[in-house]
Structure 1
Amino acid sequence: MQEQLEGAPLIKPSSTDHPLYDAVIDACRTVYDPEIPVNIYDLGLVYTVEISPENEVDVTMTLTAPGCPVAGEMPGWLADAILPVAGVKTVNVEITWDPPWGMEMMSDEARLELGFM
């Protein structure tokens, strides 16, 4: 486990000011965890979306549990959803387990959909 600098965020910030950011997030919202009826973005599984000036997209995501039955497939599903976005050049999706996913990472919409609100 990497040592954190004091005050450094556990999750790297996303490229929210990039012109493609909103379209990439919309694409992320089309991918669902097969066991949970909520998209992976609102579940909080997408940690970071970095978009380079050359429109290369790097996504860092996690899964609800290391034993997730679709662990090997979900990064490909996400890349396949993002790649058709107009302007996107390449997509790279990596899985991380640090920090581990927790229910507090879900959006209010996801909590409502799953009956936690």
Structure 2
Amino acid sequence: MRVTKKNVQEKLELVLDPEMNISIVDLGLVYKITVKKGNGVHILMTLTTMGCPLFGVIEEDIFLKLSELTIERKNIEIEMTFEPPWDMTRMSKRAKAMMGI
């Protein structure tokens, strides 16, 4: 299967924030997806709070979901950034509705 930005995003939409039970894509945590040669993927993302103790859970779920696209763990790069910092304006309408905002 050819890896594309679209199918990577579709898999990331299945990764849920463990506390909010909302997709990391809908929360606006994923800033950029880059597909590299050889089925490599670079994900630039943030967290709702710096030092979030649940990042390990989110990271493992990202690896699991992307493995369904036959992307090897060693070819997945997750880069964390807090610039710009996350805020609720980054959330999708669906996420806001789920949170009653």
Please give the range of the TM-score, normalised by the shorter of the 2 chains: 0.7 to 0.9
For normalisation by structure 1, the TM-score amounts to 0.73
C-alpha distance in structure 1 between counterparts of 2:61 and 2:81, whole Å: 16
Q: 1:107 aligns with which of 92, 95, 99?
A: 92
1:21 corresponds to: 5
Over residues 31-74 of structure 1, what are the superposed CA-to-partner deviations in whole Å (9 max), with x where a residue is unaligned?
Answer: 11111121111100011100013321010111100132212332
User: Which stretches of structure 1, 4 residues or longer, exceed 4 Å deviation after superposition?
Assistant: none
Count, aligned residues: 98
C-alpha distance in structure 2 between counterparts of 1:54 and 1:98, whole Å: 29
1:39 corresponds to: 23
Amino acid at match of 2:97: L
What is the root-mean-square deviation of aligned Cα atoms in Å? 1.9
Structure 1 residue runs without a partner (length 5+)? 1-17
C-alpha distance in structure 1 between counterparts of 2:68 and 2:76, whole Å: 10
Percent identity, aligned pairs only, is 33
Change beyond 3 A, Cα 1:76–1:94:
farther
Q: Say which one has the larger Rg.
A: 1
Q: Is the helix fraction higher in 1 or 2?
A: 2
1:14 corresponds to: none
Structure with the bigger RCO (C-alpha within 8 Å, sep 6+) is 2
For normalisation by structure 2, the TM-score amounts to 0.83
Change beyond 3 A, Cα 1:115–1:84:
same
